[in-house]
A and B are shown apart, each in its own frame.
Chain A
C-alpha cells in the first residue's frame, strides 16, 4: 500500500518568513495530493490540493509543487503570519477518494511574532 512520509515534524519560523513542508510517497499510482491544516483543538480542513497533471498550484500565500518522477510534493507558505501556526498534514490518493487517502504524520508549524 501507499506510504507517505512528511518532514519536518516541527518547524518554527519568524513572522514574514517562508515555510516549506515536504512529503514523499511510494505508490506511483497516486494522483491526488491534498494538504490539510489543523488548528489546535479543531478539525482538519483542506487548504489546497494538486492533481498529477499539474506541477504547481498557488492560492494567495500558499503553493504546492509536485514532482511525480521523484514522488514528492511540497507545501510552501510565504509571508507567514501567526494564524498560520497549526499542524499541517499532507496526503496522497490513487483515486481522489477519501477512502484511499494516506496521510503523512503531520508538521507542527509555529510562526513566531
Chain B
C-alpha cells in the first residue's frame, strides 16, 4: 500500500520568510499528488494537484507555489510567508484505479 512521508510535522516561521514543505510517496508509481490546507474549524481546501513530473495545477490563487521534480516528490513553497498562510497542510496521493486519497501526517505551519 501507499505510504506518504511529509515533513516537518510542525513549523514556526516569521512573516516574510521562505517556506519549503516536502512530500514523498512510497509504494506506488505515477500517482496523482495533492496539497490541501486545513484551516482551524474548516474543511480541507485543495491548493494544488499534479498528474505528473513538472505538471502543476493551482486550484486557488494564493501566495504559495508547488513543484514536482520527481515522480513521487511534491514540494510546497513560498518566497515570502504571510500570516494568513498559517494552517495545517496535508499532502495526499491517489494512484491507479484506487479512488481513495491517502494523506500524509500533515505539517502544522504557524506564521508569526
Interface residue SS majority, chain A: mixed
CB within 8 Å of B: which A41-76 residues: 42-46, 49
B99 A96 Cβ-Cβ under 8 A: yes
User: Is B43 touching A101 in the complex (CB atoms < 8 A)?
Assistant: no
Q: Tell which of B42, B90, B101 touches A101, judged by Cβ atoms closer than 8 Å.
A: B101
List of A residues within 8 angstroms of B46 by Cβ: 99, 101
Measured as residues with beta carbon below 8 angstroms from the partner, the interface class of chain B is 20 to 34
**Residues of the A chain whose Cβ atoms lie less than 8 Å from the Cβ of B74:** none
Instruction: State whether B99 touches A49 (Cβ < 8 A).
Output: yes
Contact count A vs B, C-beta below 8 Å: 53
Q: Which residue of B lies closest to A10 (CB)?
A: B41
Complex Cα distance, B4 from A101, in Å, reads: 19
Binds A, one of B12-20, B78-86, B103-111: B103-111
Is there an interface contact between A44 and B44, defined as CB atoms closer than 8 Å? Answer: yes
The reply to whether B43 and A103 contact each other, CB–CB distance below 8 Å, is yes
Q: Do B43 and A89 touch across chains, with their CB atoms under 8 A apart? A: yes
Q: A43-B90, A43-B106, A44-B90 are in contact. Are A98 and B43 (CB under 8 A)?
A: no
Of the candidates A32, A43, A46, A106, which one forms a contact with B43 in the assembled complex, judged by CB atoms under 8 Å apart? A106
The residue that A42 contacts in the complex, of B32, B42, B105, with Cβ under 8 A, is B105
| B92 within 8 A of partner (CB) | yes
Instruction: Please name all residues of chain A whose beta carbon is closer than 8 Å to the beta carbon of B94 when the two chains form the complex.
Output: 97-99
Across the interface, A32 reaches (CB within 8 A) one of B42, B45, B99, B103, namely: B99
Question: Nearest Cβ in chain A — how far from B92, in angstroms?
Answer: 6
B23 to chain A, nearest CB (A): 12
Task: Kindly report which residue of chain A lies nearest to residue B45, judged by CB atoms.
Answer: A103
CB pair B42 A44 closer than 8 Å: no
Interface residues, chain A, with chain B CB atoms under 8 Å away: 4, 6, 9, 32, 34, 42-46, 49, 89, 91, 96-99, 101, 103-106
Which 3 A-B pairs have CB atoms at the shortest separation, nearest pair first?
A98-B101, A103-B43, A43-B103
